[in-house]
Amino acid sequence: MSPLPQLLCSALSMAARTPPARRTLRKVLIANRGEIAVRVLRALRELGLESAVIYSDADRASLAVRLADEAYRIGPPPSTDSYLRGEAIVELALDVGADAIHPGYGFLSENAAFARLCRERGVVFIGPPPAAMAAMGSKIESRRLMIDAGVPVVPGGRDPLADLAAAEAAAAEVGYPLMIKASAGGGGKGMRLVTRPEELAAAFRAARSEAKASFGDGSVYVERYVERPRHVEIQVLGDAHGHVLSLGERECSLQRRHQKVIEEAPSPAVDDDLRQRMGAAAVRAAEAVGYANAGTVEFLLAPDGAFYFLEMNTRLQVEHPVTELVTGIDLVIAQLRVARGETLEEILGERIAGGRVHPRGHAIEARLYAEDPYRNFAPSPGRIEHLRLPEGPGVRNDCGVYEGAEVPIYYDPMLAKLIVWGGDREHAIRRLERALDELRVEGIETTTRLYRQILRDADFRAGRLDIGMLDRKLQDGTWGRPEPAADDLPLIAAVIAHAERQATRTAIPAADDGARARWRTVARREAVGGGPG
């Protein structure tokens, strides 16, 4: 048993020092932009708290600014000059009398130094204790902490292997299939997949020389290779009194280059037994670092049901709404109430009767990006000339834009999230298809066409997902650019537009006035006379 690492000690002592006192929040500063700023300010309003947002010059006319009680300029468009100015943001919070800062996701949300700065200046940071953020922020450190806490990690280790004998010993321990990876690695260089012991010697030599050539450092290590894994994550919620609870899982396997695009809850691969085991592991992970507030423990889930800790996101996730829809828990309101010092029991009430949260129905989220999925996701900035958002039963849109808004070139291209709820997975899928049919965005490219293809896919419909699926199906053309419309519809629309333009151009103003006057007379007469029967 290794001694408790430094970080864990500080996490525990920090948690012990934090008084579980009740705090009154009156005004909260939102240190973010886009849809998440809107999401947070909705929660503030529902709790009766005042909202203030920061904005960069590119976001002066944003939806968040237009909906907030107060808005303050933080700098020019680039994030480093605006949304990442930690010092200035804390100063601003003090100036405008905000008691707390909600960081949203991205930007400063996982910056332990920023959380510490807030605490030093007496502003509540709505998130976990800084020490918990720091502990989970380091891949190597968090892996060590997880092993000590009994949370499963991918077998293997980063310890460099001295020679082939050491590699053979490590391989026997890790099991096959395994990956040999370069210690200094990245970008797939110095990586070898080994499926059988006979291949180990050759792969070990090849990986070493490739690592040496690529990084000037030939040290390599072995790790169990998880074939076609899913990305399944557990939402946890902790209060400031030492209680942590699992709120169930989200399936987030549909990713392109590690960016999630469609998420759902519950996971089609998780039954109640696995849910309990993953939930218990996630709670152990959170408790190991003295976690409080909302957080997410990410796991790789292997086809055989084994799961391995990936990392913990110490903030609200983009995809939090799917959990909200199947649990009935508003996570942002929960975050704010945790920050006020309330207990999980007070916040969740009957929903945690028996200490467990059971998912009800099925929820799916589709992230709407301003990107062209068929041009390698090239960004598509510009003005949203027309926007019709889907509505109706079971549809929620968390949107950060409006018709006429400019999509700035400086930030993440995510515009909105469509989230649907259905009684079961099939209904949720049909509902999302219906919602995507109603959605209309003109003026910029979006990822909606790709999503229609995904939702129709037989593997997706059957719940057969893995983290390589999206890239694979894009590459092999399964989800390629749809064929151009074979029907006459585009021609019909263009010809009518053309005829209408020609008509307005050739109209003579005087005659037109006369015609209009006559037309009005006729119309009035018809109106007075009443319509048919």
DSSP string for residues in 98-137: -SEEE--SSTTTT-HHHHHHHHHTT-EESSS-HHHHHHHH
Residue type, 366: A
Number of residues that bind other proteins (CB under 8 A): 36
Residue from the set 276, 475, 502, 521 that interacts with other proteins by CB under 8 A: 502
Pick 291 or 369: Cβ nearer other proteins: 369
Name the percent of the chain in helix, strand, coil, to the closest 5.
Answer: 40, 25, 35
Catalytic residues: 315
| Binding region for other proteins (CB under 8 A) out of 12-20, 93-101, 499-507, 514-522 | 499-507
Measure the CA–CA gap between 261 and 248, rounded to whole angstroms.
20
Residue from the set 458, 487, 531, 532 that interacts with other proteins by CB under 8 A: 487
By DSSP bridging, strand 124-125 and strand 100-102 are parallel
Measure the CA–CA gap between 216 and 219, rounded to whole angstroms.
9
| Binding region for other proteins (CB under 8 A) out of 111-119, 328-336, 448-456, 457-465 | 448-456
Residues 386-405 that bind other proteins (CB under 8 A): 386
| Binding region for other proteins (CB under 8 A) out of 127-135, 229-237, 280-288, 491-499 | 491-499
Pick 240 or 441: Cβ nearer other proteins: 441
Residue from the set 227, 271, 385, 471 that interacts with other proteins by CB under 8 A: 385
Pick 201 or 491: Cβ nearer other proteins: 491
For 168, the 3-state DSSP assignment is helix
Measure the CA–CA gap between 214 and 452, rounded to whole angstroms.
41
**Shortest Å distance, C-beta 499 to other proteins:** 5
HSE at residue 367, side-chain half, CA atoms within 13 A, is 24
Q: Does 488 bind other proteins (CB under 8 A)?
A: yes
**Shortest Å distance, C-beta 487 to other proteins:** 8
Residue from the set 445, 460, 465, 479 that interacts with other proteins by CB under 8 A: 445
| Binding region for other proteins (CB under 8 A) out of 19-27, 105-113, 135-143, 373-381 | 373-381
Pick 138 or 259: Cβ nearer other proteins: 259
Contact 113, 283 (CB under 8 A): no
Q: Does 494 bind other proteins (CB under 8 A)?
A: yes
By DSSP bridging, strand 307-313 and strand 70-75 are unpaired
Q: Does 468 bind other proteins (CB under 8 A)?
A: no
Phi, psi of 54 (to 5 degrees): -100, 155
The CA-atom distances, in angstroms, between 250 and each of 150, 333, 456 are 22, 20, 21
Q: Does 449 bind other proteins (CB under 8 A)?
A: yes
Pick 158 or 386: Cβ nearer other proteins: 386
Q: Does 484 bind other proteins (CB under 8 A)?
A: yes
- The total of other beta-carbon atoms located within 10 Å of residue 147's CB is 14
Q: Does 409 bind other proteins (CB under 8 A)?
A: yes
Using H for helix, E for strand and C for coil, what is the string for 295-311? EEEEEEECCCCCEEEEE
Residue from the set 26, 66, 139, 375 that interacts with other proteins by CB under 8 A: 375
Q: Please give the DSSP secondary-structure letter assigned to residue 211.
A: H
| Binding region for other proteins (CB under 8 A) out of 198-206, 254-262, 291-299, 379-387 | 379-387
Q: Does 382 bind other proteins (CB under 8 A)?
A: yes
- The total of other beta-carbon atoms located within 10 Å of residue 220's CB is 26
**Shortest Å distance, C-beta 453 to other proteins:** 10
Structure tokens at 189: 């260089």
| Binding region for other proteins (CB under 8 A) out of 1-9, 154-162, 321-329, 494-502 | 494-502
By the 10 Å C-beta count (0-12 exposed, 13-18 middle, 19+ buried), 373 is classed as: buried
Pick 82 or 267: Cβ nearer other proteins: 82
Q: Does 137 bind other proteins (CB under 8 A)?
A: no
Q: Does 482 bind other proteins (CB under 8 A)?
A: yes
Measure the CA–CA gap between 370 and 372, rounded to whole angstroms.
7
Binding site for other proteins (CB under 8 A): 372, 375, 378-382, 385-386, 409, 440, 442-443, 445, 448-449, 452, 482, 484-485, 487-499, 501-503
